Amino acid sequence: MEFEAWWLILFPLCFGLGWLAARVDIRHLLANSKLLPRQYFEGLNHLLGERTDKAVEVFVDLARNHSETIELQFALGHLFRKKGEIERAIRMHQKLLARPELKQHEKHSAQYELALDFMKAGLFDRAEELFGQLDDTDFARAARRHLLDIYQQEKEWKKAIETAQQLRDTSHTYQHEIAEFYCELATAAMTRSQPQEARQYLQQALAEHRKCVRANLLLGELAANEGQFAAAIEAWLKIESQDHRFLPFAARKLLDAYDKLGKAEEGTALLKGFLSSYPELDMLDVLVERIAATESDAAAYDWLREELRRNPTMAGLLKLQDAQTKSAPAERRAELETIQRLTQEATRGASMYHCASCGFKARQYFWRCPACNDWESFLPARGQTKA
């Protein structure tokens, strides 16, 4: 390849043009930065240093002297809400909405922020109205998610179902949540002594999510309340194919239904079979009580000891200690009670239900976690921390 002399002119020229362009950009940047008030950078420094109170003071003063800065007012409203000063956040966003020069997107943004303020303040009716006005805007999906939260807090389950159906997509079908909403409607209908309405809701829950264990638990209760014990047993036995870990939730109900049908031994054998097939089931208490009631305390103790040998669990050990303490001579009972208490304290987590989403622990089972509000996130076995 031959070297052309004119290249000697081209190289410096390109370099000079690049340098000139960079200088123009730098000058433009410096000119824009000079237009920003010094207080803006002062407030920014406070934010970066996590001194929110100081930042708010600076930005409030800045907004007072530069009322035309819409972005600053949005930022202030957000800061007020974050600090818990909801009334100031509401006033700021209402002031923004009143500005006639707002562009359409800015107006929608102000409506959305104001709705968040109302929601934070617990003014759900006003928040719902504003979120509802954001259909067919860029904020529609986010607004619906917040509406879903509101409807769940207010137990407006029909509205929650409708909103969840609007939100469903390939990434989140909401089938678990919708099925639970139908179960909530069924529970309310059962409380009002409307079994037929409750049954319809539960069938809709299963149509939405065929593995909804709660629906079959409630269907069994409805049948048992009407004296249809065979139908109740049929409903509860379906839980095994849905998620066998929930079988203990129906254990006592199953035994009672078999008793009502005059098939007590069959019911006991069924639970023993479940425990043999699924050793992790938390069913020891029910079976120990059953064997003690139908046979004797000694038979229950022998069965428990054999079960613990076959499948060692902390729940079984605690139950065995309890049985030993109750049957021990008076002079040994205090010593065994001390051992039992120490074991219980060391294994306290084994007697609690855990939320798989946030780790919240509770002695009773919740279909919806009180801490993170996720549905069906509580693991069905006490002490279980992994799904």
- Whether 372 has a binding-site annotation, put simply, is yes
- Whether 212 has a binding-site annotation, put simply, is no
- Please give the torsion angle defined by the CA atoms of residues 276, 281, 284 and 289, in that order, rounded to the nearest 10 degrees: -100
Computed over every residue of the chain, the mean pLDDT equals 81
The yes-or-no verdict on residue 133 having pLDDT over 60 is yes
Indicate the pairing of strand 353-354 with strand 361-362.
Answer: antiparallel
- Whether 183 has a binding-site annotation, put simply, is no
More confident residue, 163 or 351: 163
The yes-or-no verdict on residue 83 having pLDDT over 90 is no
Identify the band that residue 60 occupies on the pLDDT scale cut at 50, 70 and 90.
Answer: low
- Give the N- to C-terminal CA distance of the chain in Å, as an integer: 69
Are the beta carbons of 80 and 88 closer than 8 angstroms? yes
Least confident residue range of 63-67, 160-164, 205-209: 63-67
- Whether 14 has a binding-site annotation, put simply, is no
Q: Token pair 């303490």 is at which residue? A: 325
Taking each helix axis from N to C terminus, what angle separates 314-327 and 330-346, rounded to the nearest 10 degrees? 160
- Alpha carbons 92 and 86: distance in angstroms, whole number: 10
Are the beta carbons of 353 and 361 closer than 8 angstroms? yes
The yes-or-no verdict on residue 233 having pLDDT over 50 is yes
